[in-house]
Amino acid sequence: MADLKKVYSHEFTSANFPLDEDGRTYHVSTKPGEVANRVVTVGDHYRAFQIAEYFDNVTREDLTIKESGPFKVSNDHIFMYMSKRNFLTITGTYKGVPVSVVAICMGMPMMDFFIRETRHVVKGPMAIIRFGSCGTIKDIETGSIAVATGAFMVSRNYDYFTSENETSPYYISEACSADKELQEILYNNLKHECKNDNIKVVKGLNGSADSFYSSQARYDSNFVDSNENLFKAIKEKHPDCITLEMETFGLFHLAKCVTSTYNKNQEPKSKKVKRISNEIKTAATTMIFANRVNNTFISTEKVPILQEKMIKSILDSLIEINLGDEKVKSKN
Amino acid sequence: MADLKKVYSHEFTSANFPLDEDGRTYHVSTKPGEVANRVVTVGDHYRAFQIAEYFDNVTREDLTIKESGPFKVSNDHIFMYMSKRNFLTITGTYKGVPVSVVAICMGMPMMDFFIRETRHVVKGPMAIIRFGSCGTIKDIETGSIAVATGAFMVSRNYDYFTSENETSPYYISEACSADKELQEILYNNLKHECKNDNIKVVKGLNGSADSFYSSQARYDSNFVDSNENLFKAIKEKHPDCITLEMETFGLFHLAKCVTSTYNKNQEPKSKKVKRISNEIKTAATTMIFANRVNNTFISTEKVPILQEKMIKSILDSLIEINLGDEKVKSKN
């Protein structure tokens, strides 16, 4: 059994934004200096390890889990921290530029923990690319790659199910766009990387749902979900929607809410204030695992091939984007 | 590095409710026969291990993580499965009655995965108790224990932040009640267990938020959250609210949406149909870690003492509740 003294030894001093005595945040558990300003975020630890394999000088032996979190690995070429709550942060360099990967598990609240706590410990502008899997609601074959031009949220309207006053079982939000520049760099890198293979790269809107099941119009006979018309409602509100997953909207939305660049109409306030301290440039790309039109699932042998191409494209895009950080650029 | 062949070796056949060739669900990754119908659900693996320590004949050596999931431990007295996505299910017996603990990490989507996928593999009525931590918005000291009489949801209204047409930055849902019988058994067991100690056990409504920060009225200077009046709004809509956390509402809400017992006005259809096949009886208890009135955080040395008392009370309540399962009752 894990050493529980280690797990429960930290004192937290504020109920508002708890930090332990080392300055680590409460859930993701990193502190200043441990996370790069160019970050890939993924769901599970394996994908994080697969990405970190591309970091400079990293060996497979660096990338293992031999015990429960919290634990730290730190050597010349890699920093790794697994939090008690299984957030895994790995920081290294890629082609000489500092980059991090953070595995956040699933769902919008986990994305919210990651963005806020990571933003709290990183200085200056950031670029964050989400790399995940999704289902498509269009006639696109599984094993294709999607790049999100923007994302919207599909949420269960809980009151619809327990009171008489509500008319819609689901809320479908307006869309928030990805960062245009980062999204285009990513799309072009993916197209280039896949040009000699029979892999399709598509662009379009992504819907992020608060359930893998009900809010993605899956049928679960055990529960009343009233989602028979959900695909139709999504397509009516967002005809450009091609994919559904569970996290991307959180990233795009919070990037729009960054204090220094916030503007309700979503356009940057002016060219002059665009690149100020806590800006976050965002993009997202997903492997299409499920096709919801013909109810097919990807053949898993295809996944490693897709991942290899996507990881290279994502890391290349992350170091290509200009964050106004000359020191980093000169290393490139 | 983990054996990726193991991770990506399973073929899933349906895009609607994916199951692998062994019948394991896609995220929690259990199959029929591996989960009891009496379940405690917690956030992190440590708490799951601490609970499983109370299972019959379990040794500390049974309860370790030596590698990344997916992995399985199965012997005479315990079954344990860690999924690729870090859902940890442990099944054993407590005082002779089969019980499970499932660690689900944090947030409503993770609760949704757990409930739906666990319900999918368990036959007959279930009892589920959530055990977690929370913050209080009332004048209750940290280190007290809360039992939820019901729960409501606090969700960010995303469109408020990016368009001009919305007037409220947060949605506050109606409340869903816990199962009255299970909640009372749990409350009485906790009171009994704590009667000789200076530990307060309080009852009241719980608000489940979609963020640890914004939707719980925490101030995060990096983001525009417009949550200055959120406490006031919560107290106006739900004067009985004593605690805030992030998962309980999902459990109480989905229990109301169980197909066979569903009734929009939330009352059981009739006594006759109350105990039918897929009913879920729910309750929740939390340790008060944060006091949001005076901005204090629990002294961590208190946590193990609280946990011990709560684990005993939770397990005793789980085996005490009548699920119409005579075979189980006779063992009690």
Query: Residue B140: pLDDT above 50?
Result: yes
Number of other CB atoms surrounding residue B200 within 10 Å = 14
Q: What is residue A268's predicted lDDT score, i.e. its pLDDT?
A: 52
- Whether A9 contacts chain B with CB within 8 A: yes
pLDDT 10s digits, B52-86: 999 999 988 889 888 888 999 999 999 999 999 99
Contact B106, B246 (CB under 8 A): yes
The size of the A-B interface in CB pairs under 8 A is 264
Q: What is residue A104's predicted lDDT score, i.e. its pLDDT?
A: 98
CATH topology of domain B132-332: Rossmann fold (3.40.50)
pLDDT 10s digits, B13-28: 778 899 998 999 999 9
Q: What is the separation, in whole angstroms, between the first and last Cα of chain A? A: 45
pLDDT 10s digits, A174-185: 999 999 999 999
Does domain A4-321 fall under CATH 3.40.50.300? My reply is: no
At B231, which amino acid appears?
Answer: F
Q: What is residue B111's predicted lDDT score, i.e. its pLDDT?
A: 98
Identify all chain B residues contacting A158, using CB atoms and an 8 Å cutoff. Answer: 153, 173-174, 176, 249, 253
Beta strands A241-245 and A201-209 are parallel
Q: How far apart are the C-alpha atoms of B318 and B285, rounded to whole Å?
A: 13
Return the closest-CA partner of residue B279 out of B321, B241, B220, B217.
Answer: B321
- Contact state of B106 with A110 under an 8 Å Cβ cutoff: yes
Q: What is residue A7's predicted lDDT score, i.e. its pLDDT?
A: 54
Range with top average pLDDT, A317-331, B4-18, B98-112: B98-112
Q: What is the separation, in whole angstroms, between the first and last Cα of chain B? A: 45
Chain B residue nearest residue A85, CA to CA: B44
Q: What is residue B278's predicted lDDT score, i.e. its pLDDT?
A: 86
Question: Strands, DSSP E only, in chain B?
Answer: 38-42, 71-74, 79-82, 88-94, 97-103, 126-136, 145-156, 170-172, 176-177, 201-209, 241-245, 280-291, 296-297
CATH topology of domain B1-123: Rossmann fold (3.40.50)
- Contact state of A173 with B155 under an 8 Å Cβ cutoff: no
Phi, psi (degrees; rounded to nearest 5) at B246: -135, 5
CB-count exposure of residue B164 (10 Å: 0-12, 13-18, 19+): exposed
Report residue B9's pLDDT band, with 50, 70 and 90 as the boundaries: low
Q: What is residue A267's predicted lDDT score, i.e. its pLDDT?
A: 57
- How many CA atoms lie within 13 Å of A264's alpha carbon, on the beta-carbon side? 11
Beta strands B201-209 and B280-291 are unpaired
Determine the distance in angstroms separating the CA of B122 from the nearest CA of chain A, rounded to an integer.
Answer: 11
> Under 8 Å CB-to-CB from A305, ≥6 apart: which residues?
A197, A199
Q: How far apart are the C-alpha atoms of B286 and B140, rounded to whole Å?
A: 13
Report residue A264's pLDDT band, with 50, 70 and 90 as the boundaries: confident
- Within 299-318 of B, beta carbons closer than 8 Å to A belong to 299-300, 303-304
**Domains in chain A: boundaries:** 4-321
Query: Residue A327: pLDDT above 60?
Result: no
Average pLDDT of A91-97? 98
- Whether A60 contacts chain B with CB within 8 A: yes
- Contact state of A163 with B12 under an 8 Å Cβ cutoff: no
Average pLDDT of A259-281? 70
Q: How far apart are the C-alpha atoms of A72 and A310, rounded to whole Å?
A: 27
Least confident of A115-129, A195-209, A280-294, B268-282: B268-282
Query: Residue A9: pLDDT above 70?
Result: no
Q: Is A154 helix (H, G, I), strand (E, B) or coil?
A: strand
Q: Higher pLDDT residue, B209 or A4?
A: B209
Tokens matching residue A232: 């139709």
> Cα–Cα–Cα angle for A243, A245, A251, nearest 5°?
105
- Whether A270 contacts chain B with CB within 8 A: no
Query: Residue A275: pLDDT above 50?
Result: no
pLDDT 10s digits, B141-177: 999 999 999 999 999 999 999 998 899 999 999 999 9
